Amino acid sequence: MSAQTDLQADARPSAIDHVQLAAPPGCEQLARDFYGGLLGLREIEKPVPLRARGGAWFGLGTGQLHIGVETEFAPARKAHPALSVPAAGLDALAERLEAAGAPVRWDHALAGVRRFFTEDPWGNRLELLASVESTGADST
């Protein structure tokens, strides 16, 4: 018997509220430039009790992406959030990131998905992806 079948629906997680990525002290302006400027995410105000910790928060669909300050910072090179992008805008986003000097590494391993990996200004890995209609042929 699966452990999941023993849980009541209202007693288990139902969605991701937020994801946090770490960044070094003093990261706030670069976070705004990258996540707000290049990715187009809307900055949201941090609650007053948490502002002294630094960092920045961004709205992302029904959830949030938090950039948190970590004194002993090391970038996440494998673990990463995957951010969904409308299919019509994925190429333009990749071009915008490349023009700004961010790496763009396309990956074709998943059928029905176009995706690429990039890094934020501190080296944290990010995946940007869009679902595509199956045509029986690879469109990229």
pLDDT at 69 over 80: yes
Q: State pLDDT tens for residues 14-38.
A: 899 999 999 999 999 999 999 999 9
pLDDT confidence bin for 134, thresholds 50/70/90: low
pLDDT at 138: 46
> Most distant CA pair in the chain: distance in Å?
53
pTM of the model: 0.87
| 120 burial via Cβ count (<10 Å: 0-12, 13-18, 19+) | buried
Decide if pLDDT at 8 tops 90.
no
Q: What rounded mean pLDDT belongs to the chain?
A: 92
**Structural domains of the chain in order of their starting residue, each with its CATH number:** 17-131 (3.10.180.10)
Q: For 123, list phi and psi in degrees, rounded to 5.
A: 95, 5
Mean pLDDT of the 114-128 span: 98
Q: Helix, strand, or coil here: 106?
A: strand
The per-residue pLDDT for 3 is 53
Residue 56's CB is within 10 A of a number of other CB atoms, namely: 24
